[in-house]
Structure 1
Amino acid sequence: MRFSASSAALCAALLPGASATIYYAGVAQSSGEFGVWSATSTKGTGLPGRFGVEYQFISTSGVDVMTDQHKVNLHRVAFLLERMCPLSYGLGAKFNETHFDHFKQAIDYITKTKGAYAILDPHNYMRYNDPSSQPFSGSVIGNTSDPTAATTAQFGAFWGELASRFASNEKVIFGLMNEPHDMPSALLLANLQAAIDAIRAAGAPNLIIAPGNAWSGGHYWTKGGAEANSNWIHKLVDPAGNTAIDIHEYLDEDFSGGHTACTQDPAANLAGVTAWLREHKLKAFITEFGGSNTTACTTMLNGILDYMAQNEEYIGWTAWAAGPFWGPNSPCCTDQKQFGSLEPGSKAAGGGPSLYDTVWVPVMQKKVPAKLQWGGLASVKGGELREKP
């Protein structure tokens, strides 16, 4: 599907000119949250899980290809709160140290061995204690009417501890939570603020990216009446002034990323959140987006990548998704057909070309800027742009 004339005009109206810059570009690494799904919603399924068998954070060879051959400088690495903070401990500052060590090894490989940046991604939907039917299972963090729910203070304690362990690594970015949804926006704001306060109290200057409610969808940012993200998220206070907004935006009919057909015009659907970012002088990442290998999706993927490059409010992106445990399964955009993932070397069912071959290489990789930030603290202001060293 091609953009309409009205959409093109809207996009052009939002372009601020040559100052627009993407500093960080790459891919989401999804497999660290695997292994807990239960067809019968049985709480505790797959916990703690076997590292390297049921879940794994990255494939070093996949990171090598993405970073060395495709010149990306950003990887978003998913993990589960229930593995980092087992149910027997509760959410907070006490970690499963074996699990943390596995996670740190992955982050160190990306940031220290490969010289790229890494987003820490608790893939929990602002819920804790039962990931067996994510994204809907588990108690909403901070819900005082639920006696089984972790508290806002516990969420802050968790982030304070995690931040203290990565505070000296300027290439680590703190993604506060993946896709909060179906909760009061006032509670989301309180949870996010508790995390920011704890991170800065831990002495960590790192870039923070804060999500919105309603799955953090850019298309819905200014909708929802009093609960709209546009009424709340700009109220976050960061004494370091180093917090950006975390947006997700899929291109299919219901914005879920579940369907093959791309039907949603990104320029039109992002206009509201872009105007809101500009109004409040905020920057943003789009850390999840994707599409299938149809002609319409190719057009719209080019459209969303160009839109970010042309609007200075956007400073980074990660495409959904690579990861070592997808096999022939697809992370998005295929109506559950097995077309593989964005993981280098992956194959579709039957050995055919994967989304890496049909979407990443011919479309997304070509939009990775030749010059990105490769050194210094990740920041909403960006840093020196250069080709990969």
Structure 2
Amino acid sequence: MRFSNTSAAVCAALLPRAAATIYYAGVAQSSGEFGVWSATATKGTGLPGRFGVDYQFISTSGVDIMTDQHKVNLHRVAFLLERMCPPSYGLGAKFNETHFDYFKQAVDYITKTKGAYAILDPHNYMRYNDPSSQPFSGSVIGNTLDPTAATTTQFGAFWGELAARFRTNEKVIFGLMNEPHDMPSSLLVANLQAAIDAIRKEGAKNLIIAPGNSWTGGHSWTEGGAEASSNWIHKLADPEENLAIDIHEYLDEDFSGGHAACTQDPATNLAGVTAWLKEHKLKAFVTEFGGSNTTACTTILNGILDYMAQNEEYIGWTAWAAGPFWGPNSPCCTDSKQWGSLEPGSKAANGGPSLYDTVWVPVIQKKVPAELQWSGIASVNGGKLEKKA
């Protein structure tokens, strides 16, 4: 999210589908990227941080409720590159093993204990070395004019190592990067291709989802002239042909997800990227969207969920956001009011109902399909649909 102030088998699945289908639906788990923001932009703040105090990936009870009661089969789990690969190491194949173990425990809980799918989400905006003022701080990965920047090769090495560690878990989905922005689209494609190549070199057949430029916004996919994502992202090549597109789409006036009022029509704003997906025979996930508890937002949230369900280009979504560390603060759509989050059990600052109570339960949860994919490798072609036991 961009805040205004800072922010069966794959071959069987290749059979043609008669209608649009959502195979994966759930929630973004945001808290693993917490603890590093600095009001004074002090580099190194909160690194490596104290697990369970400064940051945490999931609440197991929250995942239980979402998966068992609300029948979601997908969780997107945010983490920071600077914790997985501390700046003292540099970005690459050398990990902080303590931190990785915490992350793996969360992913294993979702995928092995609960039987759902997990998107790995490096929440770094295609930047590395200073998350103190994300989404703008840190050096753009691959920027050869910045001597402090991590290289494209290093980004590939990181993804090769992470893929090697999860390649035997077919329920893991590799989300290559959260919301790249303000960089040449040619460099973005080079970085993403390096990651795809490294993942496949390790023998991992897992589903990959790749973002576009300009915060990977669906509404802006065809905008920006020569730099528009629509001119670049289809150039990515995956030998496994198991690559989907990662799209974000907020519903407020400036598409930031910072405002309570929903004013943007998703059918209109997603028309361009949907046509592009269809042209290039690609599938997509909307891994961030959200709205407040207003009547207008209820209507427009239903609109975006219905739009995805009615257009075969969309195969999955995760709403923004749940997570154990939000407390009364809101991840989305409140003009900085403290209305809580989508985390089960959360409360607003006044002790009243949270966005879980006023947005997730009455609106978004009702659009979780009764049948989703619960077994087999995640695939752009989906798999066997069944009800959650």
Matches of residues 210-289 of structure 1 in structure 2 within 5 Å? 210-289=210-289
Instruction: Give me the whole-angstrom Cα distance separating, in 2, the residues matched to 1:172 and 1:248.
Output: 20
In 2, Cα distance between equivalents of 1:144 and 1:270: 34
* 1:76 paired residue number: 76
Which residue does the alignment assign to 1:10?
none
Aligned length: 373
Q: Map Cα deviations across residues 44-91 of structure 1 (whole Å, 9 max, x no partner).
A: 000000000000000000000000000000000000000000010000
Residue 113 of structure 1 pairs with residue 113 of structure 2:
yes
Alpha-carbon distance between aligned partners in 2 of 1:91 and 1:64, rounded to the nearest angstrom:
33
Moved over 2 A (4+): none
The percent of aligned pairs where both chains have the same amino acid is 88
* Residues 1:362 and 2:354 aligned together: no
Distance 1:143 1:202 in 2: 26
Give the distance between the partners of 2:309 and 2:327, measured in 1 at CA.
Answer: 31
Give the residue type in structure 2 aligned to 1:251: L
Q: Where does 1:148-159 land on structure 2 (aligned, <5 Å)?
A: 148-159=148-159
Residue 162 of structure 1: aligned partner: 162
Give SS of 2:90's match.
Answer: coil
Cα distance in 1, alignment partners of residues 188 and 254 from structure 2: 23
One-letter amino acid of the counterpart of residue 279, structure 2: E
- State the match for 1:43 in structure 2: 43
Structure 1 position 181 matched with structure 2 position 181: yes
- The AA in structure 2 aligned to 1:167 is R
| Counterpart AA for 1:25 | A
Cα RMSD over matched residues? 0.6
Structure-1 residue corresponding to 2:142? 142
Residues 2-17 of structure 1 mapped to structure 2, 5 A cutoff: none
Alignment partners' CA distance in 2, 1:350 and 1:53? 23
Write the deviation string for residues 74-123 of structure 1: whole angstroms up to 9, x where unpaired: 00000000000001000000000000000000000000000000000000
**SS at structure 2 position matched to 1:204:** coil
C-alpha displacement of 1:215: 0.1
In 1: Cα distance, 2:203 partner to 2:96 partner: 22
Could you tell me how far apart the structure 2 residues matched to 1:166 and 1:217 are?
28
Task: Give the aligned partner of residue 330 of structure 1.
Answer: 330
Map of 1:20 onto structure 2: 20
Rounded to whole Å, the distance in 1 between the matches of 2:228 and 2:208 is: 21
AA partner of residue 101 (structure 1): D
2:388 and 2:173 map into 1 onto residues whose CA distance is: 19
The SS at the match of 1:350 is coil
- Give the Cα separation in 2 of the matches to 1:23 and 1:297: 24
When the two structures are superposed, what TM-score results if normalisation uses the length of structure 1? 0.96
- 1:144-184 deviation digits (Å, cap 9, x = unpaired): 00000000000000000000000000000000000000000
Q: Which residue of 2 aligns with 1:321?
A: 321
Equivalent in the alignment of 1:310? 310
For 1:297 and 1:201, the matched residues in 2 are separated by 44
Deviations 1:306-341 (A, max 9, x none): 000000000000000000000000001000000000
Report the secondary structure of 1:193's partner residue.
Answer: helix
Deviation at 1:18?
A: 5.3
2:373 matches 1:384: no
Alignment partners' CA distance in 1, 2:314 and 2:320? 17
Tell me the secondary structure at the aligned position of residue 349 of structure 1.
Answer: coil
- The equivalent residue for 1:100 is 100
Counterparts of 2:295 and 2:350, CA distance in 1? 23
CA deviation map 1:265-297 (0-9, x unaligned): 000000000000000000000000000000000
Deviations 1:334-379 (A, max 9, x none): 0000000000000000110000000000000000000000000000
How many Å separate the matches in 2 of 1:382 and 1:47?
38
Query: For the residues of structure 2 that align with 1:31 and 1:344, how far apart are their CA atoms?
Result: 14
Gaps of 5+ in 1: 1-16
Name the CA distance, whole Å, in 1 between partners of 2:192 and 2:87.
22
Report the Cα offset of residue 19 of structure 1: 1.0
Partner SS for 2:209: strand
Determine the C-alpha separation between the residues in 2 that align with 1:55 and 1:371: 33
Q: CA deviation at 1:205?
A: 0.2
